[in-house]
Amino acid sequence: MSESRFFVTALLGPPFGLNGLLRVKSLSGETAHIKKLKTVELRLGQKTALFKIEYFDEKNGDLLVKFEQINSPEEARLWRGAELLVPLEQAAPLKSNEFYIEDLKRLVLFSASGAELGVVRDVIEGGGGFLLEVELYGKKSEQTKLIPFRDVFIGDISIENKRAVLLAEWILE
């Protein structure tokens, strides 16, 4: 599975019941693609492992997963907070003007006039939406800036060319 690019598609929540079920929180809000999974990679900190999915269930609006290797609440608790990683082909399908967070990382940020400003290091979920964490080129102090990921600040994005355009350079001041 390591040949393909992997995407975090969901987070595992607290255990449910006595059989080792875990709650699943889809990061896209969609669950149809998750319910089709047979095997996933889980990542918790530096620890990763492959897990076979025994079945999915839904209770009280929660999506639940039962992994073959996890059979008790104590075992399930060890994976609470883990990221559920899937290859691109199994990630949630994108709609127009949507991007995978992993694809936004490492984009080079350009000014509207074409000057290279920096590189996107991470995407952070803030109270008002997502923020691009950008490491600026040539700055001695405050090398990193957070830029709201909104149309008024970010223009054209080309995942294929690994570039994005900053429309409002004043936000870097």
Q: State yes or no: pLDDT of 2 exceeds 60.
A: no
- In angstroms, the Cα distances linking 166 to 7, 10, 100, 136 are 25, 29, 19, 12
pLDDT by residue (tens digit) across 84-138?
A: 988 766 666 677 777 877 788 889 999 999 999 999 999 888 777 889 999 998 7
Residue with the two structure tokens 């691109």: 88
- Written as one string, the DSSP assignment of 85-136 is EEEGGGSPPP-TT---HHHHTTPEEEETTS-EEEEEEEEEEETTEEEEEEEE
The string of pLDDT tens digits covering residues 52-62 is 999 999 998 89
15 and 76 share one domain: yes
Q: How far apart are CA 60 and CA 58, in angstroms?
A: 7
Specify the CATH number for the domain of residue 64.
2.40.30.60
Alpha carbon of residue 91 to chain centroid: 10
- Whether the model pTM is above 0.85: no
Co-location of 10 and 86 in the same domain: yes
Indicate the length of the chain as a whole number: 173
Q: Do 22 and 58 have their domain in common?
A: yes
Structural domain boundaries, residue 152? 101-172
Number of domains in the chain: 2
Is residue 86 located within the same domain as residue 33? Answer: yes
Identify which has the larger pLDDT, 1 or 47.
Answer: 47
State what percent of residues in the chain have pLDDT above 90: 58
Of 37, 62, 90, at which residue does a domain stop?
A: 90
pLDDT at 139: 61
Bridge partners of residue 133, in order along the sequence? 122, 146
